[in-house]
Amino acid sequence: MRLAVCALAAAALLAGAAQAATTRITVYAAASLTDVLPKLAPHDRYSFGGSNALAAQIEAGAPADVFASANTKLPAQLHAKGLCSKPVVFARNELVVVVPSRNPAHVTSLRSLARPGVKIVVAAAGVPAGDYTAKVLARTGLEAAIERNVVSRETDVREVLAKVALGEADAGFVYATDARTVAGKVKVVRIPARAQPVVAYGACIVSSSKHGAAASAFIRSLLAPRGQATLLRAGFLRP
């Protein structure tokens, strides 16, 4: 009896190990990809977070196979240091302002964010969403007034979304795709095209990866028709 249990456990372990060795890779991906990537490749392992934090972890030797960043700067920097392959752009996005569905501060435009007392949450500098937000603010001409209203700088874009969806903050800067994941809880205020930054997602194969072929296949699948269709359905734009 005991022998049978042992054999079964060993078999399960072996099967698991075999599966891990052939197919399962570890993807370090931008927080804004949290919902869409597991739909595309449900069997892989994911670590979602601020792309900047993930890049720092990869630099420190984290066991990632693929890095999917919410900008092209961070993977390009890793590439320049020989830590990952040349990044490819697999999607684009748009920045939007989200407000709680009750919209307590009556935010209807970028201009209304400059009114004193509006509690605005943004992503921190260095976090891609934070850097895009800074670009938008610089183009509005209301930078100083809006900056004064910032009450928190979050470590990734989903933290910004959470604080707005909860109603704790009056407004926040997130990606259009983030807003769709909590549709009933937030309203979207669009940012005019002239203030809109170029939001491009870059993916690369981490040089220390032991599953280079699988990592490369993962990135190809992002660009393949099925991958692109999944990304489009989630609201991302073509690369």
Partner 1 sequence: MRWYAVCLAAVVVALAFLLLPVVAIFVHTSPSHLVDQLSNPVVRDAFVVSVKTSVLAQLLILIVGTPAAYLIATHRFPGRALVITLVELPLVLPPAVAGIALLAAFGRYGLIGTSIGFTQTAVTVAVAYVASPLYVRQAVAAFEATDPNLAAAARTLGAGPGRTFFRVVLPLARGGLAAGLALSFARGLGEFGATIMFAGSLQKVTQTLPLAIYAEFDQNFDATLAMSGVLIVISIVLLVGLRIGLGWQRSNSTQSSSLFGLSASS
Among 155, 208, 216, 221, binds partner 1 (CB under 8 A): 155
Nearest approach, Cβ of 71 to partner 1 (angstroms)?
A: 13
Q: Are 204 and 79 in contact (CB under 8 A)?
A: yes
**Interaction with partner 1 in 2-31: which residues (CB under 8 A)?**
none
Which CB atom, from 31 or from 219, has the smaller least distance to partner 1? 31
Which residues in 42-134 belong to E strands, given as ranges? 45-49, 66-69, 88-93, 95-100, 120-123
Kindly tell me which of 94 and 159 has the beta carbon lying closer to partner 1. 159
As a residue count, the chain comes to: 239
Q: Which two tokens stand for residue 77?
A: 């920097």
N- to C-terminal Cα distance for the chain? 57
> Near partner 1 by CB under 8 A, which window of 28-36, 61-69, 163-171, 213-221?
163-171
By CB under 8 A, tell whether 153 contacts partner 1. yes
Is there binding between residue 113 and partner 1 (CB under 8 A)?
Answer: no
- 165-184 positions binding partner 1, by CB under 8 A: 166-169
Query: How far apart (Å, rounded) are the C-alpha atoms in residues 188 and 140?
Result: 18
- Which among 209, 169, 154, 164 has a CA at the least distance from the CA of 187? 164
Going 100 to 104 to 106 to 109, the CA torsion angle's sign is: negative
C-alpha Rg value of the chain to the nearest Å: 20
DSSP classification of residue 117: T
Binding mask 46-75 for partner 1 (x = CB under 8 A): ----x-xx-xx-------------------
Question: Which tokens belong to 105?
Answer: 């501060």
The answer to whether residues 201 and 93 touch, using CB atoms and an 8 Å cutoff, is: yes
Q: Is 140 in the site for partner 1 (CB under 8 A)?
A: no
98 binding partner 1? (CB under 8 A): no
Task: Select 127 or 176, whichever has its Cβ closest to partner 1.
Answer: 127
Interaction of residue 125 with partner 1, rule CB under 8 A: yes
Closest to partner 1 by CB, 8 vs 166, is: 166
Residues lying near partner 1 in the complex (CB under 8 A) are found at: 50, 52-53, 55-56, 119, 121, 124-126, 150-155, 159, 163, 166-169
